[in-house]
C-alpha cells in the first residue's frame, strides 16, 4: 500500500510540475506575442512554434531564406516580424536603420545565431573566432591582431600563390576541354578556393586540385550539418542509427580540421623558436603577435584557422560560381569582359596585383553578382534600447535581421533590380550606400573581402585567358541555403580551349 501511495503522489506531483512548467511557457509566449503585436508580419502558424513553416520550406529546398524574406517584405513593408520558433525576429530594410545599426558597435551580434558554428554535436567547431565571437572586447582584440595580415599591401605579396593555384585549375580543366564532357564548375571552383586558402594562409603543400581533398569534404560536411541543425534542432538528440552515424561522421570531420590546425600551428611556433625561416603566408604574419604579444591561447588560433578555411573557401566559391552563371546568361557582358582581359592582361602568365587592379569592368561584374547573389544574405544584431524604424517601435533586446539580399532586389533602391547590369555600379545614383552590403559594413565587415576579390579576379582571368565555357542546357539555375547561399545546380559546363584571333 505504501508503494502505491508513493507512486500515486509521484504521478500527481509530476502532473502538477508539468502543468506549472507549461503554464510558465504559455505565459512567457503570451507576453512575447503581446510585446510585438503592434509590428507587421505574417500570422503565426502555431502558438508554440511561431512561423515554423518558413523554416520547413527552406529545409525542403522549396525556397531560400532570401527569397522567403523578399516575399515577406513585398507583402508587409520594410519592417517585418516573424517568430522563429518562440523567438521574435524583426527584419528591416530601411537604409537609415542599416547605417545606424551596422556602424555602431553598441548593436552586438546575437549569440544564438552562431551556436552551430561554435559547436556541432557537442564538438567545438569554429569556436569563438572573428565570425562567431559576440563579446565585442574579445572580438576587437582578435581583429586588431589579424587585420594587418588581410591588408591589400600584404595580400598583394601572395599573388604568386593565387597565380599558381588558378593556373593549375586551368591545367585541370584543359584535360576535360573536349567540348563534350560535362564539367562541374562547383566542384572545380571548390578545389581552387580551398587550395588557395590552404597555401596562402598556411603553406599547406597538399594538391587539392588534381587530387580529392579531405579538407574540402570535411568543410562541406560541417556546413551541411550546421544547416541541418538550424532547421532541425532535435537532430543532435535523434536516437536512430542514421542520425547517430551522421553525428559521428561530422565529429570526425571536425577533428580532422582542428587537429590539423593545431599540429601546423605548433610546428610553426617550434620553427620560430628555433630560428628557422618561416614561409611567407598569413599564419607566419600573425603568429608572433597573436601567440606572443597578445598571448593567444592555442584554442583561439585553431578557431581562427577553421573559420578562415571554412568561411573563406565557401563564400569565394559561391561568388565565382554565381558569376559564371550570370555571364552565361548575359553574353554581352561576357563579350565585354573578355575584351577587357585581352586588352589589359593579354597572354601575361604571372599576374601582379597592379594588373588585376586595372580590371575595372571585372570588378563591376563581381559587384553586380554580389548584389543579386550575396553568399551571406544579411546579418543580425541586437538593439540595447528601443529602436524607431519608419514609425514602428522595436522593443529593446530584439533580434534584428538586416537583409541586403532583399534591399538589392527592390526597385526603390535599384532600377530594374533583377536585370544583371554591372554598369549600375559606375552610376552613383544606382548604388545606395546603405542598401548594398554583401560583406556587411562597419567595424565587423568581413576581414577576408580583399582576399576573396583578389582571388576571384585571378581565377577569372586565368580561366578566360585559356578556355571557353558553355553552360550545359536544362539545369535548374536556382539557389539553395547551406548556411551560405549557393547555386542549386553543379553549374555544369562544356569546356573548350580558347583560340584568339591574330
Q: Determine the pLDDT at residue 469.
A: 96
Label residue 477 by pLDDT band (50, 70, 90): confident
Distance CA 131, CA 137 (A): 14
Label residue 33 by pLDDT band (50, 70, 90): confident
In the predicted structure, residue 12 carries a pLDDT above the cut 90: no
Average pLDDT over residues 179-195: 94
Label residue 333 by pLDDT band (50, 70, 90): very high
Q: Determine the pLDDT at residue 280.
A: 84
In the predicted structure, residue 392 carries a pLDDT above the cut 90: yes
Higher pLDDT, 426 or 418: 418
If 0-12 CB within 10 Å is exposed, 13-18 middle and 19+ buried, where does residue 123 land?
middle
- The edge-to-edge listing of strands for the beta sheet with 378-382 is 79-84, 87-92, 399-403, 378-382
- Give residue-wise pLDDT tens across range 103-137: 999 999 998 888 888 999 999 999 999 989 999 88
| Residues 283-296 as b or e (16 or more Cβ within 10 Å = b) | bbbbbeebbeeeeb
The answer to which of 58-62, 186-190, 249-253, 411-415 has the lowest mean pLDDT is 58-62
Label residue 502 by pLDDT band (50, 70, 90): very low
In the predicted structure, residue 66 carries a pLDDT above the cut 50: yes
In the predicted structure, residue 189 carries a pLDDT above the cut 50: yes
In the predicted structure, residue 65 carries a pLDDT above the cut 90: no
Label residue 294 by pLDDT band (50, 70, 90): low
> Any bridge partners for residue 98, and if so which?
none
Distance CA 230, CA 224 (A): 10
**CATH homologous superfamily of domain 62-497?**
Cytochrome P450 (1.10.630.10)
In the predicted structure, residue 241 carries a pLDDT above the cut 90: yes
Label residue 431 by pLDDT band (50, 70, 90): low
Q: Determine the pLDDT at residue 450.
A: 93
Q: Determine the pLDDT at residue 478.
A: 85
Higher pLDDT, 9 or 247: 247
In the predicted structure, residue 308 carries a pLDDT above the cut 60: yes
% of the chain exceeding 70 in pLDDT: 91
Q: Determine the pLDDT at residue 46.
A: 80
- pTM higher than the cut 0.75: yes
Give 346's contacts (C-beta < 8 A, 6+ positions apart). none
Distance CA 240, CA 315 (A): 33
Listed residue (325, 301, 373, 317) closest to 195, CA to CA: 317
Q: Determine the pLDDT at residue 285.
A: 81
Average pLDDT over residues 448-470: 96
Average pLDDT over residues 148-156: 85
Label residue 102 by pLDDT band (50, 70, 90): very high
* Beta strands at 387-389 and 123-124: parallel, antiparallel or unpaired: unpaired
Q: Determine the pLDDT at residue 430.
A: 57
| Residues 57-77 as b or e (16 or more Cβ within 10 Å = b) | ebeeeebbbbbbbbebbeebe
107, 387 contact by CB (below 8 A): no
- Give residue-wise pLDDT tens across range 201-232: 888 888 889 988 788 889 889 888 987 887 77
In the predicted structure, residue 296 carries a pLDDT above the cut 80: no
- Give residue-wise pLDDT tens across range 38-62: 999 999 888 777 887 776 776 666 6
Label residue 292 by pLDDT band (50, 70, 90): low
Average pLDDT over residues 394-422: 95
Average pLDDT over residues 6-28: 67
According to DSSP, residue 290 is labeled I
Q: In what helix (H) or strand (E) does residue 399 lie, and over which residues does it extend?
A: strand 399-403
Q: Which three cell numbers stand for residue 283?
A: 599564419
DSSP string spanning 138-191?
Answer: HHHHHHHHHGGGGSHHHHGGGHHHHHHHHHHHHHHHHTT-SSSSEEEHHHHHHH
Label residue 429 by pLDDT band (50, 70, 90): low
Which residue do the cell numbers 569592368 mark? 361
The answer to which of 74-83, 201-210, 447-456 has the lowest mean pLDDT is 201-210
- Three-state SS at 32: helix
Distance CA 265, CA 471 (A): 42
C-alpha dihedral sign at 469, 67, 216, 307: positive
Amino acid at each position: 500500500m505504501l508503494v502505491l501511495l508513493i507512486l500515486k503522489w509521484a504521478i500527481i506531483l509530476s502532473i502538477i510540475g508539468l502543468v506549472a512548467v507549461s503554464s510558465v511557457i504559455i505565459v512567457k509566449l503570451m507576453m512575447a506575442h503581446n510585446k510585438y503585436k503592434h509590428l507587421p508580419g505574417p500570422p503565426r502558424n502555431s502558438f508554440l512554434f511561431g512561423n515554423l513553416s518558413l523554416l520547413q520550406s527552406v529545409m525542403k529546398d522549396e525556397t531560400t531564406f532570401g527569397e522567403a524574406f523578399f516575399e515577406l517584405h513585398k507583402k508587409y513593408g520594410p519592417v517585418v516580424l516573424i517568430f522563429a520558433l518562440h523567438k521574435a525576429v524583426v527584419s528591416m530594410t530601411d537604409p537609415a536603420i542599416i547605417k545606424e545599426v551596422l556602424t555602431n558597435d553598441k548593436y552586438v551580434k546575437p549569440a544564438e545565431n552562431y551556436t552551430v558554428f561554435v559547436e556541432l554535436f557537442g564538438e567545438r567547431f569554429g569556436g569563438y573566432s572573428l565570425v562567431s565571437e559576440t563579446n565585442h572586447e574579445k572580438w576587437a582584440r582578435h581583429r586588431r591582431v589579424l587585420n594587418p595580415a588581410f591588408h591589400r599591401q600584404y595580400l598583394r605579396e601572395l599573388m604568386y600563390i593565387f597565380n599558381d593555384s588558378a593556373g593549375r585549375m586551368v591545367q585541370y580543366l584543359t584535360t576535360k576541354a573536349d567540348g563534350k564532357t560535362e564539367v562541374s564548375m562547383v566542384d572545380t571552383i571548390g578545389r581552387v578556393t580551398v587550395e588557395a586558402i590552404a597555401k596562402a594562409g598556411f603553406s599547406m603543400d597538399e594538391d587539392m586540385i588534381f587530387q580529392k581533398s579531405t579538407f574540402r569534404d570535411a568543410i562541406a560536411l560541417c556546413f551541411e550539418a550546421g544547416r541541418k541543425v538550424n532547421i532541425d534542432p532535435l537532430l543532435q538528440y535523434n536516437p536512430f542509427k542514421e542520425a547517430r552515424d551522421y553525428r559521428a561522421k561530422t565529429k570526425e570531420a571536425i577533428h580532422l580540421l582542428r587537429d590539423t590546425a593545431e599540429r601546423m600551428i605548433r610546428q610553426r611556433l617550434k620553427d620560430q623558436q628555433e630560428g628557422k625561416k618561416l614561409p611567407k603566408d598569413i599564419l607566419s604574419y600573425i603568429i608572433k603577435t597573436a601567440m606572443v604579444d597578445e598571448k593567444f591561447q592555442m584554442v583561439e588560433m585553431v578557431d581562427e584557422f577553421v573559420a578562415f578555411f571554412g568561411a573563406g573557401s565557401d563564400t569565394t566559391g559561391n561568388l565565382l560560381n554565381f558569376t559564371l552563371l550570370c555571364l552565361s546568361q548575359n553574353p554581352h557582358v561576357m563579350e565585354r569582359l573578355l575584351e577587357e582581359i585581352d586588352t589589359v592582361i593579354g597572354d601575361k602568365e604571372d599576374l601582379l596585383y597592379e594588373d588585376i587592379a586595372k580590371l575595372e569592368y571585372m570588378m563591376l561584374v563581381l559587384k553586380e553578382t554580389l548584389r543579386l547573389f550575396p553568399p551571406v544574405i544579411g546579418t543580425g544584431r541586437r538593439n540595447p534600447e528601443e529602436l524607431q524604424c519608419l514609425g514602428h517601435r522595436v522593443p529593446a533586446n530584439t533580434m534584428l535581421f538586416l537583409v541586403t539580399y532583399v534591399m538589392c532586389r527592390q526597385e526603390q533602391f535599384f532600377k530594374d533590380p533583377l536585370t544583371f547590369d554591372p554598369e549600375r555600379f559606375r552610376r552613383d545614383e544606382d548604388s545606395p550606400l546603405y542598401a548594398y552590403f554583401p560583406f556587411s559594413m562597419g567595424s565587423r565587415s568581413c576581414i577576408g573581402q580583399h582576399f576573396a576579390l583578389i582571388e576571384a579576379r585571378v581565377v577569372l582571368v586565368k580561366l578566360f585567358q585559356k578556355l571557353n565555357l558553355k553552360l550545359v542546357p536544362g539545369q535548374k539555375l536556382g539557389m539553395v541555403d547551406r548556411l551560405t547561399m549557393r547555386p542549386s545546380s553543379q553549374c555544369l559546363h562544356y569546356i573548350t580551349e580558347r583560340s584568339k584571333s591574330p
